[in-house]
Chains A and B, each alone.
Chain A
Amino acid sequence: MRLKMLNDVDYLISKPKIGAAGKTGLWRQFKPVVDEKACKLCKVCILYCPENVIEIVNDQLKIDYEYCKGCGICSNVCISNAIKMVEESE
């Protein structure tokens, strides 16, 4: 009886998870595309990304398109104009 109750309590606890609301990248209308030649790796986009989807892998900017909502802030704050917003096509 007691064990069962404990299990029930455990069931009510939320666990941390990347993508708590599913693949939010499906919302995207415009896709940020990085121009590797123009990018100076200044990390301003990483600092301002509200979604925390940009990281640097092997000295290249990598955007996680699974969760990027395509808000365009990265493109807007980029000092060297290296991120272009391209319309999504099916």
Chain B
Amino acid sequence: MIAGLPGEELFLQGHTACAGCSQALAVRIAMKALGRNTIVCLATGCLEIYSTQYRRCAWKVPVIHMLFENAPAVASGIEVAMKKLGKKANIAVFAGDGATADIGFGALSGMLERGHNVIYICIDNEAYMNTGIQRSGSTPYAAYTTTSPPGKVSIGNKTFKKDLPSIVAAHRIPYVATANPSYPKDLYKKVKKAMDFDGAKYIHILTPCPTGWGFESNESIEIGRLANETALWINYEVVNGEITDVMKIKEKKLVEEYLRRQARFRHLSKKEIEEIQKIADENARIFGL
């Protein structure tokens, strides 16, 4: 036991994730909660590339790799087949923000609508990091990516971050949660809680990416905490349509502190920072922080 979490590791060391990848940490903690009796479906993305090389894989549970667009559809099929066979197992989908917000959103919506007993975990690093930092629907306002470069006429990404947890919660599924690997016990608790509900469950995890966001590999945990402390990211749960258990912030910080630590926001002027501060204030107002 480590700090109340089981000691058994189901996500093995020696994969090719970048040094300091908080996504690897998030998956490690989530797998501790899901346990051995799990079938994992992976959409294309960083996670699939670094953990499942040909003939060797870092997972101690059955894993099936699917395309960007159909991981939830495959998970639905597995769930129905297991029901027919009379076997019980947790079925989990791990997909990135690109696979969830953009490419695979149709299949996800279908899975939620039909209410399959699947835990969908979206690991959100706010761009297509695997293919070289292209913008996705989940990229925040004014962030630098290779397809939204800042310059004389552009401020970076022009659009705002898609509020996926709210869109998913609008499908009226029993459990939606947001988490952050900087708070591993909270993340563990949420995955464990999701397993108790019958029906489709969704957990959205923010995973700071040292390569794509531009910070040192040892700062991943700090940056994740800052995202919460500035109210740009909020950990909350939606149980049966009602927002509960919003994670409180001890001391609210200005967004500038979070933005200045990352190379993707280095080009911002006062005006844009003020605009991002407005987003954080709005978040704080909605969730009563």
A53 to B14, CA, bound (A): 9
Q: Cα distance A28–B20 when bound, in Å? A: 11
Interface residue tally for chain A (C-beta within 8 Å): 35
**Contact surface of A with B, Cβ cutoff 8 Å:** 14-24, 27-28, 43-44, 46-53, 64, 66-67, 69-73, 75-77, 85
Interface string of B210-224 (1 = CB under 8 A from A): 100000111111100
Cα-based distance from A46 to B3 in the complex (angstroms): 9
Q: For chain B, give the interface size range.
A: 35 or more
**Contact call B14/A19, Cβ cutoff below 8 A:** yes
Tell me if A17 and B12 are in contact (CB < 8 A).
yes
Contact A52 B50 (CB under 8 A): no
The interface residues of chain B lying within 8 Å CB-to-CB of A64 are 13
Q: Are A72 and B14 in contact (CB under 8 A)?
A: no
* Given A73-B218, A76-B222, A77-B221, A52:B12 Cβ within 8 A: yes
**Is the Cβ of B57 less than 8 Å from the Cβ of A27?**
no
Among B20, B23, B50, B216: residue with most chain A CB under 10 A: B20
Q: Are A14 and B55 in contact (CB under 8 A)?
A: yes
Q: What separation, in Å, do the CA atoms of A28 and B220 have in the docked complex?
A: 17
Tell me the minimal C-beta distance from B202 to chain A in angstroms: 23
Q: How many residue pairs, one in A and one in B, have C-beta atoms under 8 Å apart?
A: 113
Shortest 4 CB-CB contacts between residues of A and residues of B: A72-B218, A19-B14, A71-B20, A71-B19
Q: Within the complex, what minimum Cβ distance (angstroms) separates A56 from chain B?
A: 9
Of the residues B25, B56, B210, contact of A20 by C-beta under 8 Å = B56
Contact A18-B14, Cβ < 8 Å, known A43-B3, A50-B22, A50-B25: yes
Interchain CA distance A23-B5 in the complex, whole Å: 27
Q: Which residue of A lies closest to B57 (CB)?
A: A14
Distance A73 CA – B23 CA, assembled complex (angstroms): 13
B20 near A73: Cβ-Cβ < 8 Å: yes
Which of A16, A67, A76 is the one whose CB lies under 8 Å from B219?
Answer: A76
Bound complex: CA of A77 vs CA of B54, how far in Å? 34
A31 to chain B, nearest CB (A): 12
**In the complex, chain A residues whose CB is within 8 Å of the CB of B107:** none
Q: Are B3 and A20 in contact (CB under 8 A)?
A: no
Contact sample, A vs B, 26 pairs, CB 8 Å cutoff: A14-B63, A15-B57, A16-B12, A17-B12, A17-B14, A20-B14, A20-B51, A20-B52, A20-B53, A20-B57, A20-B58, A21-B53, A22-B14, A24-B15, A46-B2, A47-B2, A47-B5, A50-B25, A50-B220, A51-B24, A52-B13, A52-B28, A69-B18, A71-B20, A73-B220, A76-B221
